[in-house]
């Protein structure tokens, strides 16, 4: 008998109706799962026993199995390696900020097809698209752990883990709806950020479907020549197409876009690129996040190193003083557990290969 995810609202309501349970029973189940983080159907004491048995016969709560979990030396970051029911490994990262807010970085694919040369995840290629419930399970697992072990609440979600969200759009979209629905996880749409490598059709659809949800773009260069050398996607969606799509986004939403720019020494940190970046983003609703390049196993074969801080500071100064473009430098605090930007990779598979 086929079982369904308990997060499949349509199927749950259908089975409740078929078995002549009143609609309010769904609300009780929903409250138990998303507000009280109940993980065992027998623990839902607000519903009758025959309904609990029906749930156990037709639904499953989670499919992800925790393989390993590591917390950074400063205690701010926890990275969880999950094994999916089909055998792939994915990672999610909890980030505890000094301000008190907590952010979860979730994965939407096992591996990634974008093959960006500076990213460990891209070296895996695409293993599979995650189902909606596999994304939601990452969110609930983090929220439950924070609530029960630290009395903290999950405040922000960023789709910046493994994978390209716009290439698994339907499942990502449904997971956002679960995360932001008031009777479910009840996060503000404004506290959910989706990051893309320039998948233009996805951005256009995202603009219509989620005008209140934040958008981040992996830019990493203000021109096609440099970008194509490190990001193959630029051959499909060049800069002019991207900027036209983002112009449509800001016109429709009046929201600023976060532009992610990984600083790689002697690759995309030349002073003239600071001016090009300023000219590209001047007068736009833009905020640049400079990310110091994070080394990972295999880096030496690509010859990449981190841009010195003094050069990053000069980039920032050019953007602000000449073009009035605001930026921040993202602090790298979690590379001791390979949880920084560009470091998420299937370490379990690599360890297994070494053992063999």
pLDDT for 307-322, tens place per residue?
999 999 999 999 999 9
Count of domains forming the chain: 2
Last residue of a domain, one of 36, 60, 84: 60
The CATH number assigned to the domain holding 40 equals 1.10.150.530
Specify the pLDDT at position 332. 63
Specify the pLDDT at position 353. 41
CA 309 – CA 292 distance, rounded (Å): 8
- Both 112 and 254 in one domain: the answer is yes
Q: How does DSSP assign 86-115, residue by residue?
A: TS-EEEEEEEE-TTS-EEEE--SEEE-SS-
| Three-state secondary structure call for residue 279 | helix
Instruction: Specify the higher pLDDT residue, 11 or 233.
Output: 11
Specify the pLDDT at position 352. 46
- Both 153 and 80 in one domain: the answer is yes
Residue 112 annotated to the active site: no
Active-site pick, 91, 131, 134, 174: 91
CA 280 – CA 276 distance, rounded (Å): 6
Last residue of a domain, one of 37, 60, 83: 60
pLDDT for 32-47, tens place per residue?
999 999 999 999 999 9
Specify the pLDDT at position 244. 97
- Both 20 and 79 in one domain: the answer is no
Mean pLDDT of the chain: 92
- Both 55 and 95 in one domain: the answer is no
- pLDDT band at residue 1 under the 50/70/90 scheme: confident
Helix (H) or strand (E) holding 355: helix 347-355
- Both 73 and 127 in one domain: the answer is yes
**pTM to 2 decimals?**
0.92
pLDDT for 11-23, tens place per residue?
999 999 999 999 9
Specify the pLDDT at position 295. 76
- Both 316 and 193 in one domain: the answer is yes
Specify the pLDDT at position 335. 54
| Three-state secondary structure call for residue 278 | helix
- Both 52 and 70 in one domain: the answer is no
Q: How far is CA 244 from CA 134, 198, 224, 300, 309, in A?
A: 33, 11, 15, 36, 32
The CATH number assigned to the domain holding 103 equals 3.20.20.70
- Both 180 and 327 in one domain: the answer is yes
Instruction: Specify the higher pLDDT residue, 20 or 300.
Output: 20
pLDDT exceeds cutoff 60 at 354: no
pLDDT exceeds cutoff 60 at 205: yes
Active-site pick, 105, 108, 197, 341: 341
Residue 43 annotated to the active site: no
Specify the pLDDT at position 343. 45
- Both 211 and 307 in one domain: the answer is yes
- Both 35 and 74 in one domain: the answer is no
Please tell me the least confidently modeled range out of 51-55, 242-246, 343-347.
343-347
- Both 225 and 90 in one domain: the answer is yes
Specify the pLDDT at position 333. 53
pLDDT (average), residues 326-355: 57
CA 268 – CA 335 distance, rounded (Å): 21
CA-wise closest residue to 106 among 74, 86, 133, 87: 133
Specify the pLDDT at position 300. 45
Residue with tokens 């500076």: 118
Q: b/e string for 329-356 if b means 16 or more Cβ within 10 A?
A: beebebbebbbbbbbbbbbbeeeeeeee
- Both 293 and 195 in one domain: the answer is yes
pLDDT exceeds cutoff 90 at 330: no
Q: Are 70 and 122 in contact (CB under 8 A)?
A: no
Q: How does DSSP assign 138-191, residue by residue?
A: HHHHHHHHHHHHH-----EEEE-SSS-GGGGHHHHHHHHHHHH-TTTT---GGG
Q: Phi/psi class of residue 5: alpha, beta or left (left: φ > 0; alpha: ψ in -120 to 50)? A: beta
CA-wise closest residue to 294 among 244, 249, 344, 353: 344
Last residue of a domain, one of 60, 84, 105: 60
pLDDT for 66-79, tens place per residue?
999 999 999 999 99
For residue 20, the enclosing domain spans: 4-60
CA-wise closest residue to 91 among 337, 353, 302: 337
Q: How far is CA 214 from CA 177, 222, 300, in A?
A: 14, 21, 34
pLDDT (average), residues 176-203: 96
Q: Which residues contact 353 (CB under 8 A, 6 or more apart)?
A: none
Sign of CA dihedral 294, 300, 301, 302: positive
């Amino acid at each position: 008998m086929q079982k369904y995810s308990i997060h499949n609202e349509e199927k749950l309501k259908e089975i409740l109706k078929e078995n002549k349970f009143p609609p309010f029973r769904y609300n009780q189940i929903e409250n138990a799962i998303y507000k009280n983080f109940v993980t065992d159907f027998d623990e839902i004491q607000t519903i009758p026993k025959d309904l609990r048995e029906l749930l156990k016969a037709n639904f499953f709560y989670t499919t992800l199995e925790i393989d390993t979990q590591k917390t950074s030396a400063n205690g701010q970051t926890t990275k969880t390696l999950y094994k999916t029911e089909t055998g792939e490994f994915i990672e999610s990262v909890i980030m505890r900020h000094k301000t008190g807010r907590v952010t979860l970085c979730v994965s939407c694919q096992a591996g990634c097809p974008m093959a960006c040369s500076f990213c460990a995840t891209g070296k895996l290629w695409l293993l599979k698209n995650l189902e909606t419930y596999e994304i939601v399970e990452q969110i609930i697992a983090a929220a439950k752990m924070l609530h029960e072990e630290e009395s903290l609440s999950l405040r922000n979600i960023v789709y910046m883990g493994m994978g390209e969200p716009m290439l698994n759009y339907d499942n990502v979209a449904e997971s956002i709806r679960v995360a932001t629905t008031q009777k479910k996880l009840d996060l503000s749409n404004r506290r959910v950020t989706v990051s893309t490598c320039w998948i233009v059709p996805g951005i256009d659809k995202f603009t219509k479907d989620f005008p209140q949800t934040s958008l981040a773009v992996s830019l990493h260069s203000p021109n096609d020549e440099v970008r194509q050398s490190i990001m193959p996607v630029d051959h499909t969606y060049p800069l002019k197409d991207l900027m036209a799509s983002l112009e449509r986004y800001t016109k429709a939403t009046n929201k600023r876009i976060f532009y992610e720019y990984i600083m790689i020494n002697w690759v995309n940190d030349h002073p003239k690129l600071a001016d090009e970046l300023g000219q590209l983003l001047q007068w736009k609703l833009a905020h640049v996040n400079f990310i110091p390049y994070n080394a990972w196993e295999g880096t030496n074969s690509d010859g990449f190193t981190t841009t010195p801080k003094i050069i990053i500071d000069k980039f920032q100064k050019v953007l602000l003083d000449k073009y009035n473009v605001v930026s921040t430098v993202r602090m790298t605090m979690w590379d001791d557990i390979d949880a920084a930007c560009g470091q998420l990779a299937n370490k379990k598979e690599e360890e297994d290969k070494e053992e063999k």
